[in-house]
Copies of this chain bind each other. A is one copy, B any other.
Amino acid sequence: MISQSTSDKRKDLLTAALQLFVQYGFHGTPTSKIAKQAGVANGTLFHYYKTKEDLIVSLYIDIKTRMGEYIETKVPAGKKAKQMFKEQFTHVLLWSLENKDEFYFIQQFHTSPFAALLSPEEIKKQLSKSCHQIEEAIMEKAIKNRDVDFILTLLTSHTFGLNQYLAKTKLTKEQQLKTINDSFEMLWTMIS
C-alpha cells in the first residue's frame, strides 16, 4: 500500500494504455492488449480500473496532473504578466516536445466523446488558474479587454498549433527555442 519499488501495475497499465491509444486509438486498443503490454493478467486491469472508460479518463487526469506539476516547478509566480505568460507558454511547449505521446493523447481525448465524461469540477480545476491569470492581466491592462474565455481559447489554440508545427517539422533544439520565442512574441502582439 505504501510504496511499490518493485512494481506499480497501476502505473504500468497507464503507460501501456497511453502508447497503444496513441497508436491505435481508443477503440482500436482492446483491454487485453493493454494488460499484455503492461505485463499483467487480463483481470488485473479491471481490478485497478472498473471499466475501460475509467482507465481512459484516469489516464487523461494523470497526464494533465503531471503536466501541471511540471509547469508549476518551472514557473515561479510573482512576475510581470508578460514574463509569466511567456515562461508558461515556453515550458508547456518544451514539455510537449519531451512528452509527445502524452500531448497527442490530450488532443485525441479532447475531440472524443470521452471528453464529456469529465466531471465539471475537474474541468473547473484545470481552467481556474489560467482564467485567474488572464483576469489579472486584463485588469493590469497588460492584455486586451475581452472575454476571458475568448483569450483563453486563443492562447490554447496557439499553443496546440505551435506544438503541431514543432512536432512535424524537424528542427534543432536551438531552432525550436527560437520558434517558440518568436511565436510567443507574435501571440503577445496579438493579445496586448
Enumerate chain A interface residues (CB-CB to B < 8 A): 23-28, 104, 107-108, 110-113, 144, 146-147, 149-150, 153-154, 156-158, 160-162, 164-165, 168-169, 179, 182-183, 186-187, 189-191
Contacts and interface: CB of A to CB of B under 8 A. Distances in A.
Given A23-B113, A112-B108, A157 B153 contact: no
A27 B27 contact: yes
Contacts of A26: 25, 27
Contact of A27 (B28, B154, B183): B28
A169 B161 CA distance: 21
A164 B169 contact: no
B108 A28 contact: no
B150 A156 contact: no
A121 to B, nearest CB: 18
Contacts of A182: 146
Given A146-B182, A157-B160, 9 more contacts: A25-B27, A25-B113, A144-B186, A149-B165, A150-B165, A150-B169, A150-B179, A186-B190, A190-B190
